[in-house]
Amino acid sequence: MSAAKAEILTRIRDALGPSPVVPEIPRGYRAAGSIAHDGVVEQFCAHVAEYRATVHRVADSEVAFAVRAILGEGKRVGVPVGFRDLGMPVVEDHGLSVAELDALDAVVTGSALAIADTGTIALVSGAASGRRALTLVPDHHICLVAASSIVPSVPDAVAALGPDAPITLVSGPSATSDIELDRVEGVHGPRVLDVIVFA
């Protein structure tokens, strides 16, 4: 310990005295399970749309049709390995290079869960969401969100997500602003985000 640090700590101890009073820490913050699930799907859809994502609500059986309707024909579309059948040609990500990912017109992935309170989607590296590069390099991301996976708040999401895989949190298309608050999209990820919420 440096002499300066020791002196600072000595002064603090002297100021506190031999029996410092420890104040009660307020713990009125939100915790997992403290918010009801009522209306979480509608709340998530409204909040993620505020971030300029386009939201589509469909039945589970209509997901592939919705994806094809968004993309049209003739697009190079990447998906995680073993992804659900979309009824169209796709490129599975068996370790595609950055150049190959950049050549894709769009990527379609699933998600781990979504957060109603913030309009955020959690992608966990794995079978449903694919690896992180797959969702960051292509300029158009179509993300499937099961309505049953939407949780009310961030604490609920933290409690549900495991610590064993990389997690990417997505709140709308990639965007940033400079000191003049000029919005620039697509700096760190896709400029276009379509969210298909299915039940």
Beta bridge mates, 144? 196
Q: What is the pTM of this model?
A: 0.84
Q: Write the single-letter amino acid at 53.
A: A
Token couple for 128: 């449903």
pLDDT in tens, 88-107: 999 999 999 999 999 999 99
- Output the pLDDT for position 182: 81
Q: How confident is the model at residue 175 (pLDDT cuts 50, 70, 90)?
A: confident
Give dist(CA 199, CA 190) in Å, integer: 25
Burial of 21-52, coded b for 16+ CB within 10 Å and e otherwise, reads eeeeeeeeeeeeeebeeeebbebbbebbeebe
CATH 3.30.565.10 fits 34-198, yes or no: no
User: Strand 77-79 to strand 106-109: parallel, antiparallel, or no bridges (unpaired)?
Assistant: parallel
Query: φ, ψ for residue 105 (rounded to 5)?
Result: -80, -30
Render pLDDT for 52-88 as a digit per residue (tens, 0 to 9).
Answer: 899 999 999 999 999 999 999 889 999 999 999 999 9
Amino acid identity of 101? L
Q: How many residues does the chain have?
A: 199
pLDDT at 183 over 80: no
The string of pLDDT tens digits covering residues 19-61 is: 888 889 888 888 888 888 899 999 999 999 998 899 999 999 9
The average confidence (pLDDT) of the chain is 93
Instruction: Say how far apart CA 119 and CA 9 lie, in whole Å.
Output: 44
